[in-house]
Chain A
């Protein structure tokens, strides 16, 4: 049986947004193991982004427990959480979230800066990843010179640069057409098959799901299937 990376146990999340009280998650439990290709699907406002943020240790549950590689996240201090985010988790965002003033390769190597990785080594690694993602001739372009699909692939390379165990993607095809969306998923699946990377993908598009994928349907803050 594959090793468990993330375990979520009866997680609740509520917060106040202005005057309104939001109960985003109402007792969610799930397990993600090494090599999984996981979809979290549900309509907007169902709590799926909140769940993804909690899985990525960007946010903390109001109640319940999250275990990363068997350790309770709530008992780790802030610095360790930052290092887990840096070394073991990769993020892909809907809006790409690239630094507009930096070139593609600089965007890819940015997560290595706090670890003081040698610049040549970092660039070598980034160039290799970009090659693999079909961005070999886009290395020194800035984001505004790239298409949506290319920008998303740059952000995939950025998510992979630290060799993370798990990559979390928030609506990775939300801002591209379905042809480009298919292309993006082709790359994600390649990384999953070839390098055994674990993926957790939040989306409301069910068209990219394949047999063998793990699916969590979420509705009103609860897993419904």
Chain B
């Protein structure tokens, strides 16, 4: 049971992170163009000149520059002490309002606005807040928000329904450049939208081939990277879990062995009155499978409850998937059967006379 709780707890974390990332990557359209070998958009600088070069490719519809930075303080409060933890960093994204929002061709558009309006090219110190930031700081359209000690007017609230974009703040790109000290002919990254959405993988290769000093990646290429990282995280969690599972198995073995020894006499009687070795074997194995299965169900229930309790407290993405619950149950059932094997064998081989006389 404990083993199952452990498995549920650990794997739900990894599944939860995966879900969050996949959700975000799912909303990621187009091809991201970053400075070569940069670890994150915040550390990346690309020249604005290459926009026209990429836009000249016939497959390309529109190329938008974006500037990425972190809101290290909101309303004068240092962000990290604000009670938010992982998955809760507020990102500031500077966008070119002439290209994004209005066109409906890019990832950010007016339909995601739940309150107010999207940025216009004439806006300066105006911000569109992600829903979570607006909720956490009790902002609505018309309020003033201080981002990294600069005052902005809230003109809109937006959401894509994904936890990671709900922590994003959109401001005009020119203001973002000043805020993060980026030259006026640079951006953190470019997002390339193709006329045919299927063409993204081809275009990302073309960009890397034609333009020096950049990495271009489509959402599906990111997803492949991420899932390889999570593959190893999963392995690690399963490794820890398997220790718990081993302990659980030994527990079942011990319980069943004790229970069989206590009933030596009973098994002897059963043999004397015509139960065969296989009948006794089946009896003990089913008992032990029921023990394992019941432990598994309890473990899943407790694990699930703990995850539900922990989720809001930790602010951590955790997710108990049906696959995980099923796997955990089958694991417990299997443990029951394996752990019961030796005790069942022992019970089935009893000499009925000895068992009745001394048992």
CB of B273 within 8 A of CB of A85, answer yes
B83 beta carbon closer than 8 Å to chain A: no
The complex places the Cα of A99 from the Cα of B352 at a distance, in Å, of 15
CB of B276 within 8 A of CB of A82, answer yes
Partner of B275, one of A59, A78, A114, A159: A114
Binding site for B on A (CB under 8 A): 53, 56, 58-59, 78-79, 82-83, 85-87, 89-91, 93, 95, 97, 99, 110-111, 113-114, 158-159, 162
The complex places the Cα of A91 from the Cα of B356 at a distance, in Å, of 12
| Complex interface: chain B residues within 8 A of A97 (CB) | 265, 269, 272, 356
- A-B interface contact total, Cβ < 8 Å: 51
A97-B269, A99-B269, A110-B270 as given contacts; A79 in contact with B276, CB under 8 Å: yes
| Complex interface: chain A residues within 8 A of B352 (CB) | 58
B266 beta carbon closer than 8 Å to chain A: yes
| Complex interface: chain B residues within 8 A of A59 (CB) | 353
| Complex interface: chain B residues within 8 A of A111 (CB) | 273-275
Closest to B263 in A: A99
CB of A53 within 8 A of CB of B274, answer no
CB of A93 within 8 A of CB of B356, answer yes
CB of A85 within 8 A of CB of B353, answer no
B320–chain A nearest beta-carbon distance, Å:
37
B348–chain A nearest beta-carbon distance, Å:
11
| Complex interface: chain A residues within 8 A of B356 (CB) | 93, 95, 97
Q: Given contacts A83-B276, A86-B274, list 17 more A-B pairs with CB under 8 A.
A: A58-B271, A58-B272, A79-B276, A82-B274, A83-B274, A85-B272, A85-B273, A85-B274, A86-B275, A86-B276, A90-B273, A97-B265, A110-B270, A111-B273, A114-B274, A114-B276, A158-B273
The complex places the Cα of A128 from the Cα of B266 at a distance, in Å, of 25
Main secondary structure of the interface of A (DSSP, over half): helix
| Complex interface: chain A residues within 8 A of B353 (CB) | 53, 58-59
The complex places the Cα of A83 from the Cα of B271 at a distance, in Å, of 11
A58-B352, A114-B279 as given contacts; A99 in contact with B266, CB under 8 Å: yes
The complex places the Cα of A191 from the Cα of B239 at a distance, in Å, of 64
Pick from B271, B273, B276, B279 the residue with the most CB of A within 10 Å: B273
| Complex interface: chain A residues within 8 A of B273 (CB) | 85-86, 90-91, 110-111, 158-159
User: Would you mind naming 17 contact pairs between A and B with Cβ atoms under 8 Å apart?
Assistant: A58-B272, A59-B353, A82-B277, A83-B274, A83-B276, A86-B273, A86-B274, A87-B274, A89-B274, A95-B356, A97-B265, A97-B272, A99-B266, A99-B269, A114-B274, A114-B275, A114-B276
B272–chain A nearest beta-carbon distance, Å:
5
B269–chain A nearest beta-carbon distance, Å:
5
Interface size on B, residues (CB 8 A): 15
| Complex interface: chain A residues within 8 A of B269 (CB) | 93, 97, 99
Closest to A96 in B: B269
The complex places the Cα of A110 from the Cα of B271 at a distance, in Å, of 11
| Complex interface: chain A residues within 8 A of B265 (CB) | 97
The complex places the Cα of A159 from the Cα of B274 at a distance, in Å, of 10
The complex places the Cα of A110 from the Cα of B274 at a distance, in Å, of 10
| Complex interface: chain B residues within 8 A of A114 (CB) | 274-276, 279
A97-B265, A97-B356, A99-B266 as given contacts; A56 in contact with B275, CB under 8 Å: no
| Complex interface: chain A residues within 8 A of B277 (CB) | 78, 82
The 3 closest A-B pairs by CB, nearest first: A86-B274, A82-B276, A114-B279
| Complex interface: chain A residues within 8 A of B272 (CB) | 56, 58, 85, 91, 93, 97
Query: How does the 8 Å CB contact mask read for B335-356 relative to A, with 1 for contact and 0 for none?
Result: 0000000000000000011001
| Complex interface: chain B residues within 8 A of A162 (CB) | 274
The complex places the Cα of A156 from the Cα of B277 at a distance, in Å, of 24
A60–chain B nearest beta-carbon distance, Å:
11
A153–chain B nearest beta-carbon distance, Å:
16
Closest to A59 in B: B353
| Complex interface: chain B residues within 8 A of A93 (CB) | 269, 272, 356
The complex places the Cα of A93 from the Cα of B357 at a distance, in Å, of 11
| Complex interface: chain B residues within 8 A of A113 (CB) | 275, 279
The complex places the Cα of A113 from the Cα of B279 at a distance, in Å, of 9
The complex places the Cα of A91 from the Cα of B353 at a distance, in Å, of 12
Closest to A168 in B: B272
